[in-house]
Amino acid sequence: MAQATSKRSTIYLEENIHKTLRLKAAETHRSISDLVNEAVRLTFIEDQQDLAEFEAREAEPSVGYEAMLKALKADGII
């Protein structure tokens, strides 16, 4: 992946998260910024996958709670 232009930002982390992040950065020889960028990027990828799944299932019929209970009872599950 090509190096993107960086933008400076201030974030506030919980103390234990910051300490853990510093330790991981030191052990992996990466910067805290690099680790945070990767975590955010992975979150965006997961969101994109979720949205694609929602879109793929958009045409599925909706089943209400009561109908689902009746179906479970009819199937002997409850």
4-61 residue pLDDT tens: 799 999 999 999 999 999 999 999 999 999 999 999 999 999 999 999 999 999 999 9
Residue 57 counted as domain residue: yes
Q: Domain range spanning residue 23?
A: 15-74
Asked if residue 60 is part of any domain, the answer here is yes
Residue 48 lies in a domain: yes
Give the chain's domain count.
1
Note whether residue 23 is domain-resident.
yes
58 occurs within a structural domain: yes
Reduced DSSP (H G I as helix, E B as strand, rest coil) percent helix, strand, coil of the chain, to 5:
65, 0, 35
Q: How many residues does the chain have?
A: 78
Q: Answer yes or no: is 42 within a domain.
A: yes
13 vs 63: CA distance, rounded Å: 41
The verdict on residue 3 lying in a domain is: no
Q: Are 66 and 73 in contact (CB under 8 A)?
A: no
* Sign of the four-CA dihedral 57, 61, 62, 63: negative
- The pTM (predicted TM-score) of the whole model is 0.68
Angle in degrees, 0-180, between the axes of helices 15-28 and 32-56, rounded to the nearest 10 = 100
